[in-house]
């Protein structure tokens, strides 16, 4: 059906269930489908040549316009909070206030750095960010088939939009909900727009404008892509969902997190830096 599902990176708790869902998605075709995806470490690579790739936040944290002191503080935050984010032995309830603390502290630090709106494009150009291999097939395939792509990200909206623009794949079928920078009249960063989106509120509560999913009410088949447990609620706003296929990228602490991921996602992709499996499934459906 989908040869890419034979890749050694693929894990499935219930291959039969996956087969049934994929068949149902194919039956519904392009007209019934919508894709809901996380951005950082889902559409972008986790690593390249043995080095970690940056998230949309990290791109700003590490750029040349940030003061040395600011950079150090942001790095300290990352080293403190990221291990908590991926700790398989702590509960979501336990992590939630700490994650809000991380996002809040990071946004406050960034807001003191006099970042210019006009610098964002160059900052992205100079970064080591990489969309996953096969990204062009992914974005183009959805665009050509008029399948809406909803990108729901706790990263930085201005940065992720620029990444997609520079890759030449920001097609009109894309909608983004993320943390957007708030610039003053001189184009200097003064804060972030509300509401704050962190890894555990990617659900209805931050989608003030539920019009998006209402407009798409005939698209009752969902392909959901994520890399964190918090990404599983991204499709909660969809009305009258019929079929959902959840694909999860397991990038870090693979051994210890495998069981939970396999339980929660229909397909788990372990240390797979490509969109091959997603593209294979889309090719079969569309
Ligand atoms: O796009 P996505 O929702 O994946 O973005 C969230 C990711 O950004 C988190 O997984 C987290 O590791 C990372 N992050 C970061 N710096 C921050 C806050 C979050 O790199 N200050
Ligand atoms: Mg992510």
Q: Mind listing the pLDDT tens digit for each residue in 191-211? A: 999 999 999 999 988 987 668
Instruction: Please tell me whether the overall predicted TM-score, pTM, comes out greater than 0.90 for this model.
Output: yes
What mean pLDDT do residues 262-279 have?
98
Per-residue CA distances from 96 to 17, 183, 199, 269 (Å): 31, 28, 8, 25
Ligand 1 atom nearest to 160, measured from its CA: 1
Q: What is residue 109's predicted lDDT score, i.e. its pLDDT?
A: 98
What confidence tier does 214 reach under pLDDT thresholds 50, 70, 90? confident
pLDDT at position 273 is 98
The 10s digit of each residue's pLDDT in 231-263 is 999 999 898 899 999 999 999 999 999 999 999
- pLDDT 10s digits, 145-193: 999 999 999 999 999 999 999 999 999 999 999 999 999 999 999 999 9
The confidence score (pLDDT) of residue 209 equals 65
Residues 6+ apart with CB under 8 A from 161: 170, 176
Task: Give the residue with greater pLDDT, 84 vs 206.
Answer: 84
Residue among 155, 249, 250, 257 to mutate when testing ligand 1 (max atoms within 8 A of CB): 155
**Ligand 2 centroid, distance to 272 Cα (angstroms):** 14
Our answer on whether the CB atom of 155 is closer than 6 Å to any ligand 1 atom is yes
- Does the beta carbon of 113 lie inside 6 Å of ligand 1? no
Looking at per-residue confidence, does 80 or 214 come out higher? 80
- Residue 186 is predicted with a pLDDT of 98
Give the percent of the chain with pLDDT over 90: 94
Ligand 1 neighbour 161 (Cβ under 6 A): no
Mean model confidence pLDDT for the chain:
97
Question: What atom of ligand 1 comes closest to residue 154's alpha carbon?
Answer: 3
Q: Which residue among 39, 46, 47, 57 is best mutated to probe the pocket of ligand 1, counting the most ligand atoms within 8 A of its Cβ?
A: 57
200 Cβ closer than 6 Å to some ligand 1 atom: no
| Residues 49-63: tens digit of each pLDDT | 999 999 999 999 999
pLDDT band at 90 (very low <50, low <70, confident <90, very high): very high
Q: Which residues surround ligand 2, an ion (CB under 5 A)?
A: 38, 40-42, 227
C-alpha 98 to ligand 1 mean position (Å): 13
Q: Is 134 in the pocket of ligand 1 (CB under 6 A)?
A: no
> Which atom in ligand 1 lies closest to the alpha carbon of residue 78?
16
């Amino acid at each position: 059906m989908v040869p890419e599902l034979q890749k050694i990176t693929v894990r499935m708790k219930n291959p039969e269930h996956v087969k049934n869902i994929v068949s149902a998605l194919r039956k519904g075709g392009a007209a019934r489908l919508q894709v809901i995806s996380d951005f950082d470490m889902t559409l972008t690579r986790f690593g390249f040549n043995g080095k970690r790739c940056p998230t949309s936040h990290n791109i700003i944290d590490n750029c040349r316009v940030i003061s040395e002191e600011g950079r150090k503080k942001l790095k300290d935050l990352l080293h403190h909070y990221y291990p908590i984010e991926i700790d398989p032995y702590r509960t979501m309830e336990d992590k939630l206030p700490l994650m809000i603390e991380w996002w809040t502290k990071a946004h406050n630090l960034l807001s003191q750095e006099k970042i210019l709106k006009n610098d964002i494009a160059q900052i992205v150009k100079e970064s080591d960010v990489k969309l996953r291999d096969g990204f062009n097939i992914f974005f183009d395939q959805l665009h050509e088939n008029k399948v809406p792509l909803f990108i729901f990200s706790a990263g930085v909206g201005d940065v992720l939009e620029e990444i997609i623009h520079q890759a030449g794949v920001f097609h009109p079928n894309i909608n983004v909900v993320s943390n957007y920078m708030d610039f003053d009249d001189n184009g200097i960063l003064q804060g972030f727009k509300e509401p704050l989106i962190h890894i555990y509120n990617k659900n209805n509560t931050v989608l003030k404008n539920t019009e998006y999913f209402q407009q798409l009410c005939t698209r009752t088949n969902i392909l959901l892509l994520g890399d964190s447990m918090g990404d599983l609620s991204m499709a909660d706003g969809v009305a009258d969902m019929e079929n959902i296929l959840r694909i999860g990228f397991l990038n870090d602490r693979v051994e210890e997190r495998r069981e939970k991921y396999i339980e929660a996602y229909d397909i788990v992709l372990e240390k797979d830096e490509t969109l091959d499996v997603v593209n294979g499934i889309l090719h079969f459906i569309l």
